[in-house]
Amino acid sequence: MNVKLNQFSEEIILQFDLISADRKLLLNKLASYIQGNKNEGKESLLMFICTHNSRRSHFGQILCALAAEYFQIPTIRTFSAGTEVTAFHPNAISALRSIGMDIQTTEMSENPHYAIQLNATQSMAAFSKLIEDEVNPKENFAAIMTCTHAEQNCPFVVGADFRIGLSYDDPKAFDGTEQETEMYLARLHQIARELFYVFSRLTN
């Protein structure tokens, strides 16, 4: 983890008091799922799902991997998906780069592919994809629904052994406005706070 990402992580863990009590109860359920797998010596496969797999689900996948790196939990693998294929939105990429995330373009197309480097040895691919894409797990994974639309329109995720609704407001609403950068960063920080909180609850 580079210096800037470590600084971001250190700031995020001081913000757990911004999470409501009701929201913490929900997040504790995800922590319990991960803890249960950890106790059994199993990996936790965490798939973040929204409609377009362009903003919030990518934030979830990447920031969850960052939290696992920060808390040194090696049994975590993160994924993202949508009910439709679009593209990883440039505004979301810019927000992630602003906190120190190393993101390189590996394939240019209508749905570009990117490589995200978390540390010297760990890299992940990022692009918009469906739940059933070949890179995603097919069984024994957690389906983490990051938008209300996906939560309501995808009532059953094949292969998931755990499902939870963690909806976030879509920063897309601010695209092209003066608040664009501010609101993407606000959503990024919110998702990071909650995922870092989840990992802070785990025990050895």
State the residue range of the domain holding 52: 3-9+23-200
Mean pLDDT along residues 26-46: 96
**Residue 18: inside a domain, yes or no?**
no
Percent of the chain with pLDDT over 70: 96
Average of per-residue pLDDT values in the chain: 93
Binning pLDDT at 50, 70 and 90, where does residue 8 land? very high
Where does the pLDDT of residue 191 fall: very low under 50, low under 70, confident under 90, or very high at 90 and above? very high
Residue 121 CB: number of other CB atoms within 10 A?
6
Residue 150 has pLDDT above 70, yes or no: no
**How large is the average pLDDT for residues 27-38?**
97
Q: Is residue 167 part of a domain?
A: yes
Match 């939990």 to its residue by tokens.
73
C-alpha angle 20-48-105 in degrees, rounded to nearest 5: 120
Residue whose C-alpha is closest to residue 92's, from 45, 121, 60, 66? 60
The answer as to whether 17 is a domain residue is no
- Residue 58: inside a domain: yes
- CB-count burial class (<10 Å; 0-12, 13-18, 19+) for 16: middle
pLDDT of residue 120: 74
Give the helix ranges, DSSP H, for 71-179. 90-98, 148-153
The reported pLDDT for the residue numbered 203 is: 87
**Does residue 28 fall inside a structural domain?**
yes
What six digits make up the tokens of 27? 């997040």
For the cut 90, the answer to whether the pLDDT of residue 103 exceeds it is: yes
Residue 80, in any domain of the structure: yes
pTM, 2 dp: 0.94
Q: What is the pLDDT of residues 164-177, one digit of tens each?
A: 999 999 999 999 99
Q: Is residue 125 part of a domain?
A: yes
Q: Is the CB of residue 193 less than 8 Å from the CB of residue 18?
A: yes
Domain tally for the chain?
A: 1
Per-residue confidence band for 109, with pLDDT thresholds at 50, 70 and 90:
very high
**In this structure, is residue 34 part of a structural domain?**
yes
CATH label of the domain that carries residue 144: 3.40.50.2300
Q: What is the mean pLDDT of residues 122-143?
A: 93
